[in-house]
Each structure stands twice: as C-alpha cells, then as structure tokens.
Structure 1
Amino acid sequence: MPAVPRFSSRTLGIGAAIVTVLVWTAFIVIARASAGRSLTPFDIAFARICGASLVLVPWGAWLVARARRSDPAQGSLFGLSPVPLRATVVAGVFGGLCYALLAYSGFFYAPATHASVLMPGSLPLWTAVLAALVLRDRLTPGRIFGLALIVLGDLLVGGASLLHAFEGGQIWKGDLLFMSAAFCWACYSVTVRCHGLEAVRATIAITVFAFLAYVPAYALLAGLGAVTSRLASAPLGEIGFQMLFQGIGSVVISGITFTRMIQYFGPVRSTMITALVPGLSALGAVFFLGEPLHWNLIAGLLFVTAGILFGVQRMRTGGVAPVAVARG
C-alpha cells in the first residue's frame, strides 16, 4: 500500500485559510446568482439545512453517544446535539435559522456587491456592541475608530439605497436584510462565547436544531400551500447543487477549515486573512455577475476593510479579540 502523504501544520493552515476565503467569497456570489433561478430563499435555506444535516446530524449523534458512555446527561435534542439544550436553541435560532433566511432573502433584492460590504462590515460592528453589552468587553479607542470606519462604509452603501427608497427601489430592503443577517450571526457568536462552545460542536448543534425545527415545519407549510415553494418544479441538479455548496460547502467544509485556520494562525491573523472576503466577493460579483461597481461601493468597501484591519491591529496589544468576520 502506498504511504498516505502527511502535510505539515503550516501547509494545512495555509490550505485551510485559502479554502475558507474561497468558500465565503463564493457564498456571496453564488447566493446572488441563485436568486435569479428556480428556488425561493426559503427553498435555498431548506437545501442548505438538509445538505449540512447529511454530515452533521450523524456526526452529532456519534459525539453524544460517545460522551454518554461516561455521562448519560450529555447532549440534547434526542441525542443529536452535543451541546446543552438551552445553548442549542439560542444558537440555533440565530445561527441556524435566522441568519440563513435573512441572508438568502436579501439576495433577492440587493446585488452581491452590497452584500460584500454590508454583511462583513456589519458583523464586527454588531459583535462589538453585543460583546460590550452582554460580555462587558471593553471598547478601546482603537476599536471604536475601526468601528467608526465600518459604520461610514456601511452608510455609503446602505444609505445610498435608502435615499432611493421613496423612488420605488427595492435594493434598500436587501441591504436591511443583509445587516439583520449580520446581527443574527453576531448574536450567535456572542452565544458561543457566553457558553464556551467549541466551533465544530456549535456548528453541529445549530444544524441539528435547524433540521428538527425548520425542515418538518417548512415541508408541512409548503405541502398545505401556506408558503410558496418551488422545490417540486425546480431541476434536481439545482437542488443538489444547493445542498452540496450551501450545506456541505458553506456549513461543513468552511466550518472545519475556519477552525483549522484559527488553530494555526490565531484569531487576530485569521481576521486579517478573512478581511479579504469583501474585496474578493465584490470583484467576483463584477466579473461573474456583471454588476456595476459604483464609487460609493468602492469607498464603502475600502472603509469597511480598513475598519476591520485597523481594529485587529489595535487589538494585538490588548489581548485576544473575538473573530467577527463574514460567514457563509
């Protein structure tokens, strides 16, 4: 038998960083492209949850079964979540359901270039505010300046669309949905910190919750005609692709590679690496989707990226900060 190649920790760390950035960038571009095809945002969320559940639900059951050999009280939700019930429900509502539903809905109104600025830009802002209120984190002058740059970048993008709301435009709705999705992921991030949850276990927990709460409810409502679903008429290839990319790619693979990147680079340098996502996704939207890149988008992109990088640099001497970056 040929020997299995063994990679160094540096190679694995760099590879994990590349995969994470590529998947998070592709998430924004592909989600916007999917908005012009067959499925509704709720259908895409359904496919995302089902795809991720194929891997994470059995994984969670295995982790709980192993833990219960020494402590029968371990796990929750019928032995599928490796996280206690309260943390599973709170994290699942924000990170498993609300984030996906709001984000996918936003792509049906606003272009990917807006998502490139507002989702990565709003996330560190909401996370810092919530962490200060809930966890009593201290907002240093350096962090406040970085957050001010992010707010300015968000206003340049979202504010411009709000000015056109009275003219009958729809983009502002997507912008608000993007910022709301970022707020939900910030709530999830703070919940993870409050309960001291490990990243992979938390990802399993929110997927288990979403599978048990959303999948049967949505299937029932769609079957009764209470909500619009196009799953029955959509091509099987499109449904399979969404399950593969949005579920296994965006949730499972990027969750594992992000954790591996944190282990090698640490939270500070990892945040700096993932600050590439806004710019790369905006360029991807221009190149692959033909979206225009107006001056306010370019300026907003620069301010948001500078705000993330400046805040991280200032936190180098102030301890380890929470990683608050775009999530696919």
Structure 2
Amino acid sequence: MRFSPRAMGLLAAVVTVTIWTGFIVIARASAQRTLTPLDIALLRITGASLVLLPWGWWMVRRRVQALGTSAPPSSLAGISPLPLRTTALLGLFGGLLYALLAYAGFFHAPATHASVLMPGSLPLWTALLAAWLLRDHITPLRAAGLALIVAGDLLVGGRSLLAAFSGGDVWKGDLLFMLAAACWATYSVLARRHAVDAVQATIAITAFACLVYAPAYALLIALGAVTSHLAQAPWTEIAFQMAFQGGGSVVVSGIAFTRMIQHFGPVRSTMITALVPGLSAMGAVLFLGEPMHWSLVAGLLLVTAGILVGVLRASPAPTTPASTAPRRAVP
C-alpha cells in the first residue's frame, strides 16, 4: 500500500508529537524508578547507537565506493559521516550535554515544569543564538512571541526560585531544563551554520556520544566516582529505556520530524509541535498525578501563545530536506 504525501506528513506529525510528549512523561516516571540520570543517558546513547552506528558506517562506505577520493570527509573511523571538528562540536551539545542535563533535571523537578521549560523555551534560545551567530533578524512580531515565552518561563520557574528559600530544590531541575534547551538550541543553530543534513547530524552526534560517553562512564564507575544502578534494574526496564529513549526519541523522532518539515514546511511544523507543552503537561497530571497550579497553567498558555505568535510571522513555504533538516529539534 502506497500512502499519499499528505498522509505521510500527517503520520509523521502524529509520531513526532507523540514521542516528544511521551519523552517528558516517561523520563520523569523513570526518575522515580531504579536508574540514575547517567544510567538513562547511557541507555539512550546505546539504543540509538545500535541503529545509527551501522547506518553511519554503511553511509560512509557507500560514499567512498561511489566517489572515491572525492567523497566528503568522515571521522571516527568511518562511523560519522561528518568531519571530526563538526562531529565533536555538534556531538558535545546535541549528543552529550542535552541528554545529561535533561535527565538530571527530571530527578529534581516535575514533568509539568519540563513541558514548559524545555520545548517551550527552545524557540527563545534558538532565536537569540541565531541572531548572534547567524545574524538572523528578530522581527517585532517574533520579539513579542519571545517576550511571551520569557513571561511564561518566569511564571513557572519563579515559583520554584521562591520555594528555594524554604529549602526546596525544584529550581535545580528548572535550571537544568533551561540549560538542556539552550544546549539543543546551540546544536540546532550550529547545524544550520554548517549546513549539515539532519540524518547525518543525528548519526554524527550519536557516534560522538557513544565513543566519548561510554568509556568515560565505565571509568567513573571503576573509580567509584559515580554510582550505577544498572545491576539492580530489571532487564525489562533497561530494554524499554534503550528502545524508547534511544530508538524512539533519537532515531524515529528524528526521521519523523524531518519528514514532517518536508511536507508542512518549518513554519507549520513549529505550530504543530506547539502542542507538545500542553499535551505533556496534561499527561503528567493524568499519568503521574502531578498538581496543576495556576501559575503553571498561565505559564503554559503564555509559552504556547509565544510559539504561535513567533511562527505566524511568515506564510508556510515548502523547503528541501537539506535546507530544513538543521532546524530539527529532537527530545
């Protein structure tokens, strides 16, 4: 059965929103079980590596066979299809720091906060970094959208900062969520600056994270510097984390987001992903029993409105995969 381009675009949109929403709810639920943030990050990288590293090796090998010495440069023993400097730069922010900061945040703050502060603040960081590094112009309408996002973030994070004076540590998670969003925005802007393809970038950051993080993790465990709960966790939990965090959040979500942009364009795609903060917040309330304070509701509405105002500045236009792929944002 062959599906129409519209059906494929709609399917890709549903898959993207579902995985992004599930990432926030499942990551918070995982923080209340056996594994540590470092364990979950390892399983995310391992699960993605099982798919993407053979893919990267095959991609590089096919290019060499077809183009010979004129093939684009690769790195990491032919696993990454990008040059070493680009691989390391993108891998640091998109492969390592994002995962470590995000998973650590879920051990301090609820998923309702993550739903606002991670996907919600991503357009803010991306716009600011793009204006600095890419000289993108921030229009008055986009500036208004960014102001709404800042106001929403302050409503959510401000409550945690006030609670810090009474000994609360939710603000630590809020700060980690904001830093995680900033890291992914940095990766996205750098990917646009270097004009890399989304699939190649995903393979490259996974290869870098695997070859850097896995040995460092093992060394820290051997030295007793960090504690691992992998030995205590049931195999079903380990297999699920590898499948969802690695296979789902990295591989499937990356391909689906790229496909969605190919059909809907970057503007309408951003409007579609504006559903994620609200859906993930409702999921946290329904499935995790988290409370929904008035400040959280107000912040959620402001952030969602800010995203919509920011993308409504232009009419949607179809784009090619190579030009739109770097705009992607995987959870």
Normalised-by-shorter TM-score class: over 0.9
State the 1:71 CA deviation: 3.8
Q: Choose from 18, 22, 27 the match for 1:31.
A: 27
Alignment of 1:156-195 (within 5 A): 156-195=155-194
The 1:84/1:326 distance shift into structure 2, 3 A limit, reads closer
The 1:326/1:85 distance shift into structure 2, 3 A limit, reads closer
Alignment of 1:89-238 (within 5 A): 89-238=88-237
Amino acid at match of 1:131: A
Q: RMSD across aligned C-alpha pairs, in angstroms?
A: 1.7
Q: Could you tell me whether the CA contact under 8 Å between 1:186 and 1:324 is conserved in 2?
A: no
Q: Which residue number corresponds to residue 257 of structure 1? A: 256
State the 1:162 CA deviation: 0.5
Q: Within 2, Cα distance between the matches of 1:196 and 1:318?
A: 19
State the 1:227 CA deviation: 1.0
Q: Within 1, Cα distance between the matches of 2:234 and 2:215?
A: 22
- 4+ aligned runs moved over 4 Å, structure 1: 317-326
1:44 equivalent in alignment to 2:40: yes
String of CA shifts for 1:165-209, please: whole Å, max 9, x gaps: 111001000000000000000100011001001111100100000
Q: Within 1, Cα distance between the matches of 2:317 and 2:55?
A: 37
**What's the TM-score once normalised by structure 2's chain length?**
0.95
Q: Could you tell me whether the CA contact under 8 Å between 2:202 and 2:254 is conserved in 1?
A: yes
Q: Which residue number corresponds to residue 10 of structure 2? A: 14
String of CA shifts for 1:263-296, please: whole Å, max 9, x gaps: 0111000000000000000000000000011000
Note the residue ranges of structure 2 that are not aligned, 5 or more in a row.
Answer: none
Q: Within 1, Cα distance between the matches of 2:194 and 2:147?
A: 29
Q: Within 2, Cα distance between the matches of 1:102 and 1:76?
A: 26
The 1:283/1:203 distance shift into structure 2, 3 A limit, reads same
Q: Within 2, Cα distance between the matches of 1:112 and 1:172?
A: 13
Q: Within 1, Cα distance between the matches of 2:185 and 2:179?
A: 10
Amino acid at match of 2:90: A
142-151 vs 73-82, greater mean Cα deviation: 73-82
Amino acid at match of 2:32: G
Q: Within 1, Cα distance between the matches of 2:318 and 2:42?
A: 39
175-184 vs 212-221, greater mean Cα deviation: 212-221
Amino acid at match of 1:34: S
Percent of paired sites with the same residue: 69
Q: Which residue number corresponds to residue 269 of structure 2? A: 270
Amino acid at match of 2:105: G
Q: Could you tell me whether the CA contact under 8 Å between 1:274 and 1:325 is conserved in 2?
A: no
Amino acid at match of 1:66: R
State the 1:220 CA deviation: 2.0
The 1:22/1:317 distance shift into structure 2, 3 A limit, reads closer
Note the residue ranges of structure 1 that are not aligned, 5 or more in a row.
Answer: none
String of CA shifts for 1:127-169, please: whole Å, max 9, x gaps: 1111001000001101100000000000000011101111100
The 1:165/1:264 distance shift into structure 2, 3 A limit, reads same
